[in-house]
Structure 1
Amino acid sequence: MENFIDQLTAKNSEYVHIVTRELVKIGKSDDEIKTILSEILPQIVAAQKERKLAKDILGTPNEFTSKYAPKTAAKGAKNTTPASDRFTNDKPVLMWLDSSLLMLGVLAVINGIMALFSKNARTYGIITLIIMSFAAGFVMYLMYRLVYKPQAEGKKVPWLRSFGPLTLAFLAWILLFMATMLLPSSINVSPAGYLVAAVGLIALALRYFLKRRYNIKSAMGTQPVRK
């Protein structure tokens, strides 16, 4: 089993660590855990050769270990797994969508409330709001991919190869924002404040649902890989 552990990638090593910890939580003995790991480690190593992650073949750590949980404890039991362990789905599109919906929700709610309580404030055009949020979501994902993720894996982050693309992405974000502001109001409609705030609340609710439905990892925070 040690030979297989040495062959694991950083992500799969973290996966096995989380699975082991969850098996301990549900009361599995050391021998039982070794038996389970001896069954899945060869599968994980074989899948690595096909560029597949452990979660792709076994499911998330929570899904995998739930099969071994006592049936009496499973009914009505609350999920006490830490959020950092549950939300492990790091598919780029889902993480980008998660960050974009967060930005859309926050910006729309703030912009809508300000428009409601201030006569001088005006709402952003709907196209401006959407493009600005999704561009910001992309920048947030890029920061995760180029900075936070390598740091969490204990890797050195090359300054030029990380901050260079981030700077370009940030400038593109600003240019897109400025370009949408030039659109005529007949196209880039500015809704009433309460409608903009409602859009923000819907975006946050949708993000909440999708995050728990697909266990989407947040682009704003990672933890170092535990070995």
Structure 2
Amino acid sequence: MSEKEQKLETQDVNEINETDQSAASDVVAEEIQEDIATDGVETVDLAEDAEAIDAFFDQAKAEASSPIAGINQATYNQLTKRNQQFLFDIDRYLIDEMPYEVRTKVYEEMVETLLAGQLSSQTARQIYGTPSEVAVTILEQEIKADEEAVTSPDWMIALDGSLFLGSVFTFLTGLSMMNAEEGQATYMGVLTIIVNYLFAGLAMLMISKVIPNPDAPKGERGYLRYFLVSILAMLVWFVAITASSVWLPASINPAFSGEVYMIIAAATFILRYYLKKRLNIQSDLF
């Protein structure tokens, strides 16, 4: 091949390479433009989403920026300055004494009352009194509610009922023995006394499980069930006492004088009072 022919062939190859490179460059350029366009759309969408999120949190922050627990700013702003200060003063007393959720419920009710009072130009002090008095009252009511909500274990309720009801029956038995004529007294031996206290506790425990709920809907308050269970519990108690008195021989179930029964009754009643305070026994019965 001559030198001239070689130059022509080299020139043709270079032209073909340049053409391929140009085509490839055009394809890459088109892809880049598409990517830029796509990225631009996504950037705009992300920016719009970010603005919406920021606006949402700004609104939530504004609504929750009230200094009073559970009261949003919009509602708080409806109160007069004096009423706002009144709630703020109360919260200073309660913030370390009551959890946030409990204070929220208290303040929601108070704000509703204060807003209604503002319509007739009533101030917080006219409605409730001083902030310190209100705070003390709220704390006392909360403590009382907590105590009433707590129910003691079954064994405590049975023990308390045993000592209470058992001591009452023992006292009445001793009294009847002291006032009865010779040969007419009903005697209760030492084992019968034990049976008396045991079944008295069982009866009280049974009754405590079916205490009626007066706040329940009509027909679901449980008065009939309470009535039936109470009769059954008392019946079991009296049958147990009578059976032990009749069936247990006097050799293992000796009787005491009426004075001894009254002393036993007084001692167990005092013990019941002491244990109720000592153990903080909570019951819906008494």
| Bin for the TM-score computed over the shorter chain | 0.5 to 0.7
TM-score in terms of structure 1 length: 0.54
Q: Mean alpha-carbon deviation: is it higher for 30-39 or for 101-110?
A: 30-39
TM-score in terms of structure 2 length: 0.45
Alignment of 1:4-153 (within 5 A): 29-38=90-99, 85=147, 90-119=152-181, 120-148=184-212, 151=213
Q: Quick one: higher RCO (CA 8 Å, sep 6+), 1 or 2? A: 1
The residue that corresponds to 1:212 in the other structure is: 277
Q: Is the 8 A contact 1:113 1:197 kept in 2?
A: yes
Q: Aligned partners of 2:231 and 2:175: how far apart in 1?
A: 31
Query: What stretches of structure 2 of length at least 5 have no aligned partner?
Result: 1-68, 71-88, 103-142
The residue that corresponds to 1:179 in the other structure is: 243
The residue that corresponds to 1:200 in the other structure is: 265
Q: Which structure has more helix as a fraction of its residues?
A: 2
Among the aligned pairs, what percent are the same residue? Answer: 24
Give the paired residue count: 154
Q: Is the 8 A contact 1:131 1:176 kept in 2?
A: yes
Amino acid at match of 1:32: Y
Q: List per-residue Cα deviations over 1:55-104 (Å, max 9, x = no partner).
A: xxxxxxxxxxxxxxxxxxxxxxxxxx98x958955221111111110112
Q: Aligned partners of 2:263 and 2:92: how far apart in 1?
A: 54
* Change in 2 beyond 3 A, CA 1:172/1:86: closer
Query: What stretches of structure 1 of length at least 5 have no aligned partner?
Result: 3-27, 42-80, 222-227
Q: CA RMSD in A?
A: 3.4
Q: Aligned partners of 1:144 and 1:169: how far apart in 2?
A: 11
Q: CA deviation at 1:136?
A: 2.5
When Rg is computed on C-alpha atoms for both structures, the one with the higher figure is 2
* Change in 2 beyond 3 A, CA 1:162/1:38: same
* Change in 2 beyond 3 A, CA 1:89/1:112: same
Q: Aligned partners of 2:96 and 2:90: how far apart in 1?
A: 10
Q: Is the 8 A contact 2:207 2:229 kept in 1?
A: no
Q: CA deviation at 1:146?
A: 1.3
Q: Aligned partners of 2:284 and 2:196: how far apart in 1?
A: 17
Q: List per-residue Cα deviations over 1:125-146 (Å, max 9, x = no partner).
A: 1222221233123222222221
